[in-house]
Amino acid sequence: MAFLEIHNLTKDFGGLRANNNISFTVEQDELVGLIGPNGAGKTTLFNCISGLHTITSGQIIFDGEDITALKAHEVAQRGLARTFQVYVAAGDLTVIENVMVGCFMKARSRSRAKAHALEILKNMAIEDLSDYLVSELPVAAQKRVTMATAIGSAPKLLLLDEVAAGLNPNEIEGIMASIRHIHEQMGITIILIEHVMELVMKISHRLIVLDYGEKIAEGDPETISKSPLVIKAYLGERYAKEHNLS
């Protein structure tokens, strides 16, 4: 039995089918990339897995347990954390307080939550930001804080939604190092949605490609980057025809 199993997942929004019959599995300690053009249904799929959306049909099994019908907070309590793509922290929480919210999922006392949060901030090398408001920070640092917050809940599986979007090449290097660190040092299985190809191709063990809500390809980065179906999805029908790809 795989660590995460998605069986025939379908999600409809009224008449719009956002995810159509998607199936895949993720093994423990894998780092899987989820790619696809805009509107392919990647974030919807994350929302379905993490329980924010109720799925129309299908089944989700995480760590041997059927989590299909669970609510978002119950899914999180079972060790499945995520970050959000557009998360502008407008609130009045500082960096360490943000991370503490994550830590409070397990910790009952404030002192324990704070100690754990500090440890994570150190581990992610952002402890010097701990007293800033999240909204005061540049985007790259904000993304790190959202990752640190998710890690605070001590997840077994972490879903990262476009943590490199809007960053410059230098910052992307930094984020990539952070992701590797989370994966290798902390031993957390990761699925990441990413548009930044140099990141996702370099870092992922395996890629899953979505287009128009369906899984069109799956395989190691090498194979995927040469797959005609994927190129067509990204670059369009005409490009593929002109280059005799299909």
Contact positions toward another protein, by CB under 8 A?
50-52, 71-73, 76-77, 81-82, 84, 87, 89-93, 97-98, 100-102, 104-105, 107-111, 113, 133, 136, 149-150, 152-153
β-pairing verdict for 4-13 and 157-161 = unpaired
Q: Quickly count: other Cβ atoms within 10 Å of residue 225's Cβ.
A: 13
Helix (H) / strand (E) containing 95: helix 95-103
3-state secondary structure of 51: coil
Beta carbon of residue 42, minimum distance to another protein (angstroms, whole number): 16
The tokens 């609130």 sit on which residue? Answer: 91
CB of 139 to another protein, least distance (A): 17
Q: How many CB atoms lie within 10 A of CB 64?
A: 9
Q: How far is the CB of 107 from another protein (least distance, A)?
A: 8
> Which runs of E-coded beta strand occur in the chain?
4-13, 16-26, 31-35, 57-62, 65-66, 80-82, 157-161, 189-193, 206-211, 214-219
The SS3 of residue 125 is: coil
Minimum CB distance to another protein, residue 83 (Å): 8
Residue 105 or 118: which CB sits closer to another protein?
Answer: 105
* Nearer Cβ to another protein (80/140): 80
Nearer Cβ to another protein, position 146 or 178?
146
Tokens encoding 15: 């008449």
Q: Rounded to an integer, what distance in angstroms lies between the CA atom of residue 182 and that of residue 242?
A: 42
Residue 83 or 227: the one with the smaller Cβ distance to another protein is: 83
CB of 82 to another protein, least distance (A): 5
Fill in the amino acid letter for 174.
G
Q: Cβ closer to another protein: 61 or 72?
A: 72
Closer CB to another protein, residue 73 or residue 238?
73
Cα separation, 100 vs 12, in Å, equals 35
User: How far is CA 203 from each of CA 22, 31, 175, 180, rounded to the nearest angstrom?
Assistant: 23, 8, 11, 8
Closest approach, Cβ 79 to another protein, in A, equals 9
